[in-house]
Chains A and B, each alone.
Chain A
Amino acid sequence: MTDKPKVAFYWCASCGGCEEAVVDLAEKVLDVTAAVDIVFWPVALDFKRKDVEAMADGSLAAAFINGAVRSTEQEEMVHMLRRKAQVVVAFGSCSHLGGIPGLANLADREAVLATAYRDSPSLVNPEGTMPQTSWAENGHRVGLPGLYDTVRTLDQVIDVDYYLPGCAPTPALIANAVMALLSGQLPARGSVLAPDIALCDECPRQKTKPEKLALSAFKRPSEVVLNEEECLLAQGVLCVGPATRAGCEALCPKGNMPCTGCFGATSRVRDQGAKAMSGIASTIGSNDAAEIERILAAIPDPIGTFYRYSLPASLLRRRRLGAPAGHEA
């Protein structure tokens, strides 16, 4: 048992969906556990941080880390796992690009805490208790992790060897990645372990995508009865598939929902949100400024739409700290 390669799974700022994705390997998980020893996996196994700390540096074959990094604890843990692991895989959108938690980069620490602990309508906090990083009680001082203003991708904190994209990565991609690691047949360091082509290329609706799109309105999926075979953009539904990497086998479009971009962009694109916006806005079928404004008004939250998973990885990374209020759209 001890000569099997050791791997660790860890989660940072994430929802648990990536852990679920590992469980979704179903019986294939038995192949994985037959081939490796999982020595650390907080969601499922009772190993502690000190157990990993006691291991020699470089003694883990791989660490799969999901979630964005936004607290001191997460930062410490990923530095520690980087030292222990030969290969670090950023697992899932949050770790790869910042993910949904990355949209907190539109706010700052103070605003995030105020909403979560003070202003949320469903909240009961009569004493106005706010999280503290240090607290003394009966002569004992306890410390708790602190939250940062800025959510970061994993590779903004430590060196990352591979990226498994997706919210969450699909079982097929996970199995491929694990098998590639075990066989030693790895692509170039820094690769995203999914095809480097746009999602449209593997979408079954591609054949109905018109040569020239001319959108006259953006509709939400709930506002329209969708044809199950026709290109979603051609039906006026904002699908960011053209600016998104393939590899999920078009799960959402097959389920009659538009792509929201969780795999990030291909290697030719630096900023997924800008590129998605550019491609989609350019297809508006009007040359009249006022009409264009009217059509674009149906996209009330462009950052949340085009940067849904990638704001921390974008060129600007976050809303400017200290920006005056009142400039919101």
Chain B
Amino acid sequence: MPETTTKPAAAPAEGRFEPRIVAFFCNWCTYLAADLAGTTRLKYAPNVRVVRVMCSGRIDPQFVLEAFAQGADGVLIGGCHPGDCHYESGNYKTLRRYPILKRMLAELGIEEERFRLEWISASEAEPLRVVVNDMVEKIRALGPLDLRVPAERIAHEVEEVAVP
């Protein structure tokens, strides 16, 4: 598998928010689509960090949460179309987990545009380009996702807390 070498694209416009998107792509379909996009010199937004997994069914929901917890502004999952899974049923597992994970993320205050599942086959470089560009623009409009839990201080008592 050829390694993608990314030259830094044109420097982002001053002060413009550049979303960081973690993309989990399955080895047999969406990762090959990304590869095809590269060899056919399709240009798309350089905001995705692609993690190749053997199957979209391998994407433990913990991976998605970990990506958000570590600062991703969005998470994209790409797998084979239903019926096309290299392992027969892996993408169906993804299909079953996705709607409820999306609801859980919404309850945790993460907008739905930030988490997306797309079926993209190995030949679909153009749909991949469209999906990535669209997701980047939507997340750019939303702004950064700040999940930090601030240290809290309540003035008058805290002086008494002697931290060992």
Contacts and interface: CB of A to CB of B under 8 A. Distances in A.
State the 7 A-B residue pairs at the shortest beta-carbon distance, nearest first. Answer: A323-B109, A320-B109, A146-B154, A315-B65, A274-B61, A329-B103, A72-B157
Contacts of A83: 162, 164
Interface stretch (B18-26, B28-36, B42-50, B145-153): B145-153
B51 interface: no
A316 B145 CA distance: 12
Interface residues of B, number: 43
B156 interface: yes
A139 to B, nearest CB: 17
A184 interface: no
A150 interface: yes
Contact of B96 (A282, A303, A327): A282
Given A146-B154, A275-B60, A277-B101, A315 B69 contact: yes
A265 to B, nearest CB: 10
A328 B101 CA distance: 13
Given A270-B62, A318-B108, A324-B109, 18 more contacts: A72-B157, A79-B164, A133-B155, A148-B152, A150-B152, A275-B60, A275-B61, A278-B62, A278-B97, A281-B97, A282-B97, A296-B96, A316-B68, A316-B69, A319-B108, A320-B147, A327-B106, A327-B111
Given A72-B154, A278-B60, A327 B112 contact: yes
A222 B96 CA distance: 25
B19 to A, nearest CB: 16
Contacts, number: 134
Contact of B62 (A106, A271, A299): A271
Contacts of B160: 76
Interface string B72-104: 000000000010000001001101110111011
A113 B68 CA distance: 29
B161 A76 contact: yes
Nearest to A148: B152
Interface string A175-197: 00000000000000000000000
Looking at B68, B152, B156, the one whose CB has the most chain A CB atoms below 10 A away is B152
